[in-house]
Amino acid sequence: MDEFSGQRERLLATLRSQGITDDRVLAALASVPRERFVPVAIRAKAYENVALPIGQGQTISQPLIVGMMSQLLRLSGNEKVLEIGTGSGYQTAILARLCRKVVSVERIAELSQRAAIHLAELGCENVELHTGDGTLGWKAGAPYDAIIVTAGAPDVPSPLYNQLKIGGRLVIPVGGEDSQELQVIMKRESGPDITDVCDCRFVKLIGNAGWNPDDSN
Ligand code: SAH
């Protein structure tokens, strides 16, 4: 028990009622203290079901979205997963409990460094963090069983699709700057099989195969 236990339980009940049904995902959400990944000044809001600012114009994703994206990856425990957009490291910590290895790329070094501290505090040892342009993927670890992108892309970056194993899933928000469609792209021998999941709103994926850095705000 800790001071956030009650709020965490209530949030989990909400997420269950909103469609998060994968027991492993629910267990991961129950065990990762979200308050550690938000700035101290807004820690009291850590268990509200909303995105929150984490500095550098970026946000920690809404818990429902984290649960939904994690569930859509259909992880069973033995996968190597590539995450683009480490941000606070919260989604990274959830993934670390759901798969064998997480490789996570963030373009803002300061965010990556802070995430590294929080992940180490939680004892997440199966995580590899890198700073760079994640629209290019992370070739050294390819191919991946699953890929998750936590920033909105104008199109699916082809390096990410290329670094996915056949049978693997890519979960990514695709669309305009103000709203996107959350998509699951399954890589088949015959080509991509795309499923639209829901509307969503993410910060921009900025990079070579994303939005132009000059447009960044
Ligand atoms: N999953 C994170 C979400 C952070 S917001 C969390 O819950 O905290 C999205 C993150 O994507 C931001 O930190 C942003 O800096 C990062 N990002 C944007 N474009 C990127 C790129 N090309 N490569 C890697 N990270 C990128």
Query: Domain with 119 in it: what CATH number?
Result: 3.40.50.150
Distance between CA 185 and CA 202 in Å, rounded?
18
Index of the ligand 1 atom closest to the CA of residue 205: 19
Of the candidates 51, 85, 111, 112, the one whose C-alpha atom is nearest the C-alpha of residue 173 is 85
Domain annotation covers residue 180:
yes
Domain annotation covers residue 217:
no
> pTM of the predicted model, to two decimals?
0.97
Domain annotation covers residue 57:
yes
Q: Give me the pLDDT at residue 215, please.
A: 63
The pair of structure tokens assigned to 93 is 């910590």
Q: Residues 116, 53: contact at Cβ < 8 Å?
A: no
Q: Domain span at residue 182?
A: 5-200
Q: Give me the pLDDT at residue 108, please.
A: 98
Domain annotation covers residue 126:
yes
Domain annotation covers residue 215:
no
Of 61, 70, 88, 104, the catalytic one is: 61
Tell me which residues of the chain have a pLDDT lower than 50: none
Task: Give 61-110 pLDDT, tens digit per residue.
Answer: 999 999 999 999 999 999 999 999 999 999 999 999 999 999 999 999 99
- Cα dist. 137→38, 49, 102, 148, 151 in Å? 26, 29, 13, 11, 13
Index of the ligand 1 atom closest to the CA of residue 85: 11
Q: In this structure, which residue's CA is closest to atom 10 in ligand 1?
A: 85
Domain annotation covers residue 94:
yes
Judge residue 167's burial from the number of C-beta atoms within 10 Å of its C-beta, 0-12 exposed, 13-18 middle, 19 or more buried. exposed
